[in-house]
Amino acid sequence: MTIDNLHQLHRLIARNRFWEKIFIVFGILSLLVGIITLLALLIDMTIDGLPRLSWQFFTSFPSRKYEEAGILSAWVGTCLVILVTAIAAIPIGIASGIYLEEYAKKNWLGDIIEINVTNLAGIPSIIYGLLALGLFVEQLKLGRSILTAGLTLSLLVLPIVIVTTREAIRAIPNSIREAACALGASKWQTIWDHILPYSIGSILTGIIIGLARAVGETAPLITIGALTFIAFLPDSPFKSEFPYISFNWLQAEFTVMPIQMFNWVSRPDPEFQSNAAAAGVVLVFMTLAMNAIAIFIRYRLRRRIKW
């Protein structure tokens, strides 16, 4: 190789290196765009909303006067709706995941359920609202109630629970199944005694992430006609006299955090918008806290069991 050629080569390499550095700058920038936006959002909302965050804000009903308005009915509503969602979505989601992973045969039914779950995960949330409006509210006459809202969100969360259950189950090595079977355990005993206990941690992270999404979900609940001005709490589920438990709250009308926030954002006066910001801070805190718990569980699990 002549000196001249070598020179050329060095120049070429220098140029390639230069472009690489430019790209790295762009790469970091594009990561930062997302992260800076996130920070801007959180800071902006906190500045607007912090003055309104007081004990009174959590313990007051919505009001025409912005300084008296609070989110009591909203956060109680969110908690009750999510409770219904969890009760409906967790058993059905885990059961479907187990069926698809452990029982489903490679036939048309298995294929259809499989494609169907992927598709459901991609359907816009507002469409679930239309289903709930047409089916739960109008056909089944469940009303614009906490029950309807919880069931609607559970349909939305279901694909997430199913997918994480399947992934968690798939991660368990086959040797565990064979070990249990060789001891004379039946298929269901194997699942109940081994597969489920060993995968429940990962399944739990999926459930929490799914429920966090349900907490922030607005559109389907507006569609079924959640009210924005609720100045009462649903019936308490606990009674002082027999049978101590009541299900009247399921039929109660409700509002939830994101709808309360949406309502305040749409008001023209800035005072209500700072109420919206305060509600937003609470809402983001709720969802981020749930996500953080999920990430923590995942982290702990990764350190504990190595197959």
Partner 1 sequence: MVENHPSQASKFKCEVKNLNFYYGSVRVLKDINLSVFSHQVTALIGPSGCGKTTLLRCFNRMHDLYPGNRYTGEIELDKINILAPWIDPIEVRMRIGMVFQKPNPFPKSIYENVAYGLRVRGQSQRSAIDETVEQALRNAALWDEVKDRLYDLAFNLSGGQQQRLCIARALATNPEMILFDEPTSALDPIATASIEELITQLKEKVTILIVTHSMQQAARISDRTAFMYLGEIIEFDRTQTIFSDPTHRKTQDYVNGRFG
Partner 2 sequence: MSEKYLKLSPTIHLAPRIIRNLRERIVELLLLGAAISSIATTIGILGILIYESFSFFQQVSIIKFLTDTEWSPLFENPRYGVVPLVSGTLVTTVVALSLAIPLGTIAAIYLSEFASPKLREIAKPCLEILAGIPTVVYGYFAYLFVTPLLQIPLPDLPGSNMLSAGLVMGIMIIPYVSSISEDAMRAVPVHLREGSYAMGATRLQTALRVVFPAAISGISAAYILGISRAVGETMIVAIAAGLQPILTWNPMEEAATITAYIVGVTQGDLPHGSLEYQTIFAAGLVLVLMTLVFNILGHFLTKRYREVY
- Residues of this chain that interact with partner 1 (CB under 8 A) are 105-106, 173, 175-186, 189, 193-194, 198, 305
Could you tell which of partner 1, partner 2, none binds residue 246, using a CB distance below 5 to 8 A set by kind? none
SS3 145: strand
| Residue 102 or 235 having the CB closest to partner 2 | 102
Could you tell which of partner 1, partner 2, none binds residue 196, using a CB distance below 5 to 8 A set by kind? none
Q: Give the helix ranges, DSSP H, for 183-228.
A: 187-190, 196-216, 219-223
| Residue 32 or 171 having the CB closest to partner 1 | 171
Closest distance of CB 100 from partner 1, Å: 16
Could you tell which of partner 1, partner 2, none binds residue 179, using a CB distance below 5 to 8 A set by kind? partner 1
Rounded Cα distance between 192 and 94, Å, is 12
| Residue 45 or 203 having the CB closest to partner 2 | 45
CA atoms within 13 A on the CB side of 116: 10
Rounded Cα distance between 27 and 225, Å, is 44
Count of C-beta atoms within a 10 Å radius of residue 103: 11
CA angle 266, 270, 273 (to 5 degrees): 50
Q: Residues near 63 by Cβ (< 8 Å), separated by ≥ 6?
A: 69, 70, 231
Could you tell which of partner 2, partner 1, none binds residue 59, using a CB distance below 5 to 8 A set by kind? none
Closest distance of CB 174 from partner 1, Å: 9
Closest distance of CB 189 from partner 1, Å: 6
Could you tell which of partner 2, partner 1, none binds residue 58, using a CB distance below 5 to 8 A set by kind? none
According to CB under 8 A, which residues from 191 to 220 bind partner 2?
Answer: 209, 212-213, 215-219
| Residue 104 or 219 having the CB closest to partner 1 | 104
According to the binding rule CB under 8 A, does residue 169 interact with partner 2?
no
What tokens were used for 72? 């009591």
| Residue 76 or 276 having the CB closest to partner 2 | 276
Closest distance of CB 117 from partner 1, Å: 22
Q: How far is CA 137 from CA 76, 133, 144, in A?
A: 22, 5, 6
Rounded Cα distance between 154 and 88, Å, is 6
Please name the amino acid found at residue 286.
M
According to the binding rule CB under 8 A, does residue 75 interact with partner 2?
no
Rounded Cα distance between 27 and 16, Å, is 16
Rounded Cα distance between 133 and 149, Å, is 10
Rounded Cα distance between 245 and 131, Å, is 30
Could you tell which of partner 1, partner 2, none binds residue 198, using a CB distance below 5 to 8 A set by kind? partner 1
8, 116, 236, 246: residue in contact with partner 2 (rule CB under 8 A): 116
Q: How far is CA 150 from CA 158, 198, 295, in A?
A: 12, 29, 25
6, 79, 112, 305: residue in contact with partner 2 (rule CB under 8 A): 112
Closest distance of CB 95 from partner 1, Å: 21
According to the binding rule CB under 8 A, does residue 90 interact with partner 2?
no
